[in-house]
Amino acid sequence: MSAAVRVHLASLAFVFLGCGALLAVGPPDRQTQPGVRVGAACAHDNLTIFFLHGADQLKGRQILTLEEALKQKKIIVHETKTVRQLSLENVSTQEVFIQAGDIVKGGQQDRVLAIDMLVPPKSGKLPITSFCVESGRWSRRGTETADRFSASPHALVGNNLKLATRKDMDQRKVWGNVSRVQDALSKNLKVQVRSARSRSSLQLSLEHKKISEAVEKATQKLQPRLGAKDTDVIGYAVAINGKLVSADVFANADLFRRLWPKLLRAAVIEAIALKKEKEKIPEVKAEAVTAFLKEVARGKKTGKILGKDLHEQQQETAKNILFETRLKKDGPVLRRSYLAK
């Protein structure tokens, strides 16, 4: 089979995702829950982080993040002039990980990428599902390039926005939750975070000076807690206002370490948006994190084909939902993402 045919078949599989096809799969198996150990907590204000320790699923694989690849000009995110689909082109000899929730800046309007994806070296153009996180604009902004996207320093903030993108796949819900996040950040920071350049742009709001200052203050304390000796950290759990809200487990420790600055920025900003004045914050213990990770195992399980050799399984209870991305149906786990509902 020629390389061109392989790329074409992969593209068809990715387009299949756009139809939202779900596949029923069997009951939970022993691979559903990761064998992770919950580490000690580190906290700042109303945010508590637990590092999750475990074995690598992809040993020795050094995978670039989207943020790194864009900075190094190793991947091109093409504008397609279709809101619900962009095109990725890896022009390097390294694999690139796309994280569902990655925001890309530029194009006709800022977008969020809606699925996890491992883009192979020299991939050619591959479609990926996206949603708009900036309503109204449909032209070049300032000196940015309209036919491609320039950077990806930020990810989605808040579970409602993540669920609107990954579970509901509903553009109106995405817009509504973008607006609510902007309002919450403006209220708690006591400054309007909407940018005059594009008031609807979540990306530009996240670049606001007050947000950047708050993120810098928190990351100075929290980022060093992931030390050089922490070679088995493959994920993290987040508690805000004393309540567990999310957790992520990745394919290997190297990938998590590369993603950590962006993940931490998003967690800090979410904590700002959810901050409650003068409220006593209860302590969150490691046992609660373990229970949070296990609870979703009782949920109903469905599957979705993301692309050639890439599968997503969703498992949902009344309280939580798990998105699990695997390389092949029963292969190594690329990412497990837990969200409280």
Residue 2 has pLDDT above 80, yes or no: no
Q: What pLDDT digit, counting tens, does each position of 307-326 carry?
A: 878 999 999 999 999 999 99
- N- to C-terminal Cα separation, the chain: 44
Q: Are 154 and 265 in contact (CB under 8 A)?
A: yes
Rounded CA-CA distance 65/291 in Å is 30
Calculate mean pLDDT across residues 161-175: 98
Instruction: Return the structure tokens found at 175.
Output: 């817009």
Q: What pLDDT digit, counting tens, does each position of 177-189 carry?
A: 999 999 999 999 9
Strand 47-53 relative to strand 233-240, pairing: antiparallel
Domain boundaries, the chain: 3-340
Q: What pLDDT digit, counting tens, does each position of 142-157 carry?
A: 999 999 999 999 999 9
